[in-house]
Amino acid sequence: MNKLFILVGPSAAGKTLISNFLVHKDVNFLQNLINVVNDLDKSSMLENLNIAINTLEKSPFNKIITSTSRPPREKEIHGVDYYFYNKDEFEKKISNDDFLEYVENFGNYYGTCLESINNSLNIGNSIIVLDDKGAIKMKELLKSQAITIYLDIPVDVMEKRMNFRNDDPASMLTRTTNLHIMSYKNKADFIINVNKRIDFVLLDIIEIIKNTIAR
């Protein structure tokens, strides 16, 4: 039975970046992170990323793209990072029962289409990025077929990353004062510390995926 791996974590934990690399197996998704390290670290980082890519080639899986009513950030692409809809469009889809699950967080809707999940799992193992509420609902629906991985990040590091990527201050304040998503940590199947180099994070996640698929 194919598995659905669910990445859960607070803002700036790297969920979208990680899921894109795992699916596309392309270091270009990580180029900004690679460019800021020294030459010695860069060499070992690229070596680890190549190991990660070789492992993923043996166990490829699909990314399930979720939908949201929030505006796209810079460089985010409709149909790649999310399906972006305005609030009226999203609410119409809710009325049409298009979503298997949806939640409203910080004034924005997030949802997952049942058709997207079924199509992806029929092809192979899959990955999706969800918040805590979405992950709980997905576990209820798919039981042991769904594997949750919580990306753990200290609050101070999260805030620094959010400042670095120039998140809207009002949005950042809302998210940092609503840290309920962090309470999901102890409910997840696995916890990964993401306060380290991205290649180490990816190797940790790939080890979980590899061992889970091998069961």
What is the tens place of the pLDDT at every residue in 163-184? 766 655 545 545 554 467 788 8
Sequential pLDDT tens for the chain (215 residues): 899 999 999 888 889 889 988 888 888 777 777 776 777 788 888 888 888 888 888 777 788 888 999 999 888 899 888 899 999 999 999 999 999 888 887 789 999 988 888 889 998 999 999 888 889 989 998 999 999 999 998 877 877 777 766 655 545 545 554 467 788 899 999 999 999 999 999 999 999 998 998 87
| Crossing angle between the packed helical segments 39-58 and 198-214, to the nearest 10 degrees | 20
Q: What is the pLDDT of residue 20?
A: 87
208 CB-contact burial (10 Å; exposed 0-12 / middle 13-18 / buried 19+): middle
- DSSP code at position 193: E
Strands 83-84 and 67-68: parallel
Q: Give the tens place of pLDDT for each residue, 88-104.
A: 999 999 999 999 888 88
Which residues are registered as beta bridge partners of 148? Answer: 6
List phi, psi (to 5°) of 124. 175, -170
Q: How many CB atoms lie within 10 A of CB 39?
A: 6
Q: Is the pTM of this model over 0.85?
A: no
Nearby residues of 148 by Cβ (< 8 Å), 6 or more positions away: 6, 8, 135, 139, 187, 188, 189, 190
Task: Give the CATH number of domain 4-61+126-214.
Answer: 3.40.50.300
Please report, for the chain, the start and end positions of each structural domain, with discontinuous segments joined by +.
4-61+126-214
Return the closest-CA partner of residue 64 out of 29, 102, 113: 113
